[in-house]
Amino acid sequence: VNTRKNPSITQKIPITRLFCECELYAPANYDSDPEMKKVMEIFNKQTQQRFEEYDERIKTTRQKCKDQCDKDIKKIILRDKIEKKLTEKLGVLQTDITTEDIPTCFCEKSVADKTEKVCLQCGYGLGSVAPSVGLIGSLSVNVWKTGAFLAAAEKGTEAGIEAAIQGIKTEFVLNKLGGVGLEKLFTAKTFNKNTFFVQKILEEYYTMCKNGTVQDSIFDLFVTKYPDKEHMVIKSITASANNIALKAGNAAKTTEAAEIALANTASYNLYLSIAYSVIAIVVIVFVMFIIYLILRYRRKKKMKKKLQYIKLLEE
């Protein structure tokens, strides 16, 4: 049996440190190294610069704090003096004056002052508009009303002419008089003239008598009713013609009256709307004027207190 042990192949090398390596980091060598000197100089400069910036910030902050403290102290001292003066002179002035009434700056305008000015300007503007609305509105309605009356007269004339044409066609069964169509024959000046009706119808009757065509027309009824009585035939024809003219005139008047009534109703509603508009404007102006007076009274009262306070400070 072989019990022999083999020795280790790798031999243990002891860690050793030479004396020359220690000399590299010796203080004398470390301080005399150029690169280390340069690094140390840069570090010292940066550190010094940061300390200087920090000192400047500290000085600025301390100065701001000192200025603010001085301002606060001055305000406190001034308010104490004012309260002391007010306490001493309070018997001379109104008893409701407080430190809130101390004037700060007269050039500053409050919301109340701006509202007062706006109310005054709006009151002037609307106050000048209200009469214009009433005047212009009334004139416009009058012009429209005149035009409506003219249109009503035209519609009445058209209705009268239509009634005259229908009366001739119904009563005498004629579409023409003297060879002229009824639509061209009757105008605004002739549709209700009984003499015009009588003249044209009798001319048509005489023409038919002359031509011997009476038997083929409505006039044959008048001739048959009054045989051998020419004057009665003419009288009957005249009465019928007058009746047609009267009905045409009445139709024109009725239509015109109805149109005028509609125009009057519409104009009344327009006048009413204008009146309501003017009343609304007047009410708005009145309310703004009241607000202006209230704000003006309050402003004067406040200014009076401020003037009293200023007078007190001057004393």
- At residue 275, does pLDDT exceed 60? yes
> Per the structure block, which two tokens stand in for 163?
């009634």
> pLDDT value at position 95?
47
- Rounded Cα–Cα distance for residues 292 and 123 (Å): 9
Highest mean pLDDT among 31-45, 216-230, 239-253: 239-253
- At residue 77, does pLDDT exceed 50? yes
> pLDDT value at position 9?
59
Residue 152 phi/psi, 5° resolution?
-65, -40
**For residues 58-69, average pLDDT:** 89
> pLDDT value at position 27?
60
> pLDDT value at position 103?
47
Residue type, position 240, single letter: S
**For residues 174-193, average pLDDT:** 79
Instruction: Using alpha carbons only, give the angle 227, 233, 237 rounded to the nearest 5 degrees.
Output: 150
CA dihedral 184, 190, 193, 198 (to 10 degrees): -40
- Rounded Cα–Cα distance for residues 218 and 224 (Å): 10
Among 1-5, 147-151, 204-208, 221-225, name the one with the lowest average pLDDT. 1-5
- At residue 105, does pLDDT exceed 80? no
**For residues 23-48, average pLDDT:** 75
> Per the structure block, which two tokens stand in for 211?
């031509």
DSSP, collapsed to helix, strand or coil, labels residue 180 as strand
Burial profile 42-61: b = 16 or more Cβ within 10 angstroms, e = fewer: eeeeeeeeeeeeeeeeeeee
> pLDDT value at position 79?
82
**For residues 173-201, average pLDDT:** 79
Residue 257 or residue 305, greater confidence: 257
Contact by Cβ (8 Å): 164, 245: yes
**For residues 42-51, average pLDDT:** 89
**For residues 135-145, average pLDDT:** 70
Q: Which residue has the tokens 């019990």?
A: 3
Residues 6 or more apart whose Cβ sits within 8 Å of residue 138: 271, 274
Residue 198 or residue 142, greater confidence: 198
Pick from 121, 147, 128, 141: nearest CA to 275: 141
Per-domain residue ranges of the chain: 115-314
> pLDDT value at position 102?
47
Residues 6 or more apart whose Cβ sits within 8 Å of residue 233: 219, 222, 223, 225, 226
Terminal-to-terminal C-alpha distance of the chain: 132
- At residue 243, does pLDDT exceed 80? yes
Which pLDDT band holds residue 144 (cuts at 50, 70, 90)? confident
- At residue 107, does pLDDT exceed 50? no
**For residues 201-208, average pLDDT:** 80
- Rounded Cα–Cα distance for residues 64 and 72 (Å): 12
Which pLDDT band holds residue 104 (cuts at 50, 70, 90)? very low
**For residues 245-260, average pLDDT:** 86
> Per the structure block, which two tokens stand in for 69?
């403290």
Whole-prediction pTM = 0.47
Contact by Cβ (8 Å): 175, 228: no
Residue 6 or residue 250, greater confidence: 250
Q: Considering the chain, what percentage of its residues have pLDDT values greater than 70?
A: 71
**For residues 127-138, average pLDDT:** 62
DSSP, collapsed to helix, strand or coil, labels residue 177 as strand
DSSP, collapsed to helix, strand or coil, labels residue 91 as coil
Which pLDDT band holds residue 310 (cuts at 50, 70, 90)? confident
Among 143-152, 223-232, 237-246, name the one with the lowest average pLDDT. 223-232
- Rounded Cα–Cα distance for residues 276 and 279 (Å): 5
